[in-house]
Amino acid sequence: MTNARPARKRYLLLSGDQPIEPDTQKEISRLVFETYPNLAKNRVIWYEGSLIVRTDQLRLAEMEQTLAVKVGDTKLMPRRVSGSISKLKREASR
């Protein structure tokens, strides 16, 4: 019998190619929750115009490809980021 390794938490940072307007933020949030209805709301946070999504290594690659879309005039650029939430906030500020 094999032991299933617990899923490790990973983060996906979604930033836009231009500043993201509040209406676009709502549309992006809606897109994420429609695409991933099982994703809990506490796993998604907006920080300084970037969206941080907490997931696991099993869904990270799929989410990265799926969420690389254009919403309105904004092209989303997903980046894999690991580490603590404070490290993610530093990345989002860049």
- Chain mean position to CA 70: 14
6 pLDDT tier (thresholds 50, 70, 90): low
Would the pTM count as exceeding 0.85? no
Q: What is the pLDDT of residues 53-93, one digit of tens each?
A: 998 888 889 999 999 999 888 899 999 887 777 777 777 67
**Top CATH class, 9-89:** alpha beta
Beta strands in the chain (DSSP E): 9-16, 44-47, 50-56, 70-71, 74-81
Give the whole-angstrom CA distance, residue 29 versus residue 24. 9
Q: What is the pLDDT of residues 13-55, one digit of tens each?
A: 999 988 888 899 999 999 999 999 999 999 999 988 889 999 8
List the domain boundaries for the chain: 9-89
Phi-psi category of 61—alpha, beta or left, where left has phi over 0 and alpha has psi -120 to 50?
A: alpha
Three-state DSSP class for residue 87: helix
